[in-house]
């Protein structure tokens, strides 16, 4: 299942790219590419490193996970549970001050016990 949602900046994720309006789409696309590479590699530590120390991750389940350590633990658990591949496509992005918001399509595919299952949501926020 793929779903589409407009995003608000609920997480302060650290990126080296400026979050100006003209760069918003590139920032969102670069973040999505980095996220997918780390996720598909099963690297929860690299995923958590995309967040600031006090960052917030809004899980597809609706859970709000605060702090890099808790985010790493949650994502490691999700990967271990068999949700091992993710695809992200940005369809829109913009800047709000020094933050970037994005909307797009995302699919999370399972393996092992959840093989053949798919889940989706898309939440992405970035801050300079």
Q: Find the CATH number of the domain harbouring 74.
A: 3.10.450.50
Q: What is the pTM of this model?
A: 0.71
Number of independent structural domains in the chain? 1
- What is the pLDDT at residue 77? 93
Checking if the pLDDT of 14 tops 80, the result is: no
Structural domain containing residue 109: 3-127
pLDDT for 114: 65
Is residue 1 very low, low, confident or very high in pLDDT (cuts 50, 70, 90)? very low
Within 8 A by CB and 6+ apart from 111, the residues are: 82, 84, 85
Q: What are phi and psi of 61, to 5 degrees?
A: -75, -10
d(CA 71, CA 27) in angstroms, rounded, equals 21
């Amino acid at each position: 299942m793929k779903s589409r949602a407009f995003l608000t900046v609920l997480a302060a994720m650290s990126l080296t790219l400026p979050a100006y309006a003209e760069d918003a789409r590139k920032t969102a696309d670069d973040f999505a590419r980095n996220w997918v590479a780390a996720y598909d590699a099963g690297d929860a530590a690299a995923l958590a490193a995309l967040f600031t120390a006090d960052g917030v991750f809004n899980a597809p389940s609706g859970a709000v996970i605060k702090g890099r350590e808790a985010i790493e633990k949650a994502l490691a658990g999700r990967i271990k549970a068999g949700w091992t591949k993710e695809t992200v496509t940005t369809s829109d992005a913009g800047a709000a001050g020094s933050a970037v918001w994005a909307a797009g399509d995302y699919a999370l595919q399972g393996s092992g016990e959840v093989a053949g299952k798919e889940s989706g949501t898309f939440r992405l926020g970035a801050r300079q």
